[in-house]
Amino acid sequence: MINSIKRQTLVSVLVAALLFVVTATVSARGVYQTNDDFLSEVFKQQVPKSDVVWLKGDVRERVAAILGHHYSGLRIRYWMKDNRSAWILEEIGKEEPITFGIVVNDDKVEQVKVLAYRESRGWEVRHPAFTQQFSDAKLENNELDRHIDGITGATLSVRAMTAVVTLALYLDGFVST
């Protein structure tokens, strides 16, 4: 009788723990902010007209070098007002695309946000405690001027974010010249 009660208790605890892990994983996926809401927030409801960078020649090669693969599109859209640009970029984490919003102001990162996360692991990159590492980052010799600390279990998401931030800084420098 006592062994039966202990077994039932153990099974109940294991089922509860499994449900918690599944729920936490599923709830980490999703859209945290729409692209339009991100742009409205960045530009205080006065979103400028978008423009594009055409990916051809040296620009295409540099983008591929930054990402470690060729970019699938022919152009990248951005929004610019004064010396401030906003970029909405996607990069694959492990298997699924992650949508990032990056704001560059005077050649430095002002803000990085995860707008949509579709992976089952690595969602911790969306928290300000992680994204603040990118604040005021700039490019030096075509790389970020600082080391970005990783997160255990989120290595590929960290790499994806680092790559898109580097890309946004490079593209901002390209369109600003």
pTM: 0.82
In whole numbers, what is the pLDDT of the chain averaged over residues? 88
Q: List the beta strands (DSSP E) in the chain.
A: 30-31, 50-54, 75-81, 84-92, 97-105, 108-117, 139-140, 143-144
- Same domain, yes or no, for 164 and 88? yes
Q: What domain range is 16 assigned to?
A: 1-30
Distance between CA atoms of residues 90 and 78, nearest Å: 13
For the stretch 34-74, pLDDT in tens is 999 999 999 999 999 999 999 999 999 999 999 999 998 99
Angle (CA) 55 94 73, round 5°: 15
- Same domain, yes or no, for 21 and 82? no
- Same domain, yes or no, for 38 and 3? no
- Same domain, yes or no, for 67 and 24? no
- Same domain, yes or no, for 25 and 44? no
- Same domain, yes or no, for 15 and 89? no
State the pLDDT at residue 153: 86
Distance between CA atoms of residues 86 and 177, nearest Å: 16
Q: Is 160 left (phi over 0), alpha (psi -120 to 50) or beta?
A: alpha
For the stretch 4-16, pLDDT in tens is 666 666 555 554 4
β-bridge partners, 86: 79, 103
For the stretch 127-158, pLDDT in tens is 999 999 999 999 998 899 999 999 988 999 99
β-bridge partners, 108: 105
Q: Is 33 left (phi over 0), alpha (psi -120 to 50) or beta?
A: beta
| Total domains, the chain | 2
For the stretch 86-115, pLDDT in tens is 999 999 999 999 999 999 999 999 999 999
**For residue 25, is pLDDT > 60?**
no
Count of helices and strands (H, E) across the chain: 5, 8
- Same domain, yes or no, for 20 and 89? no
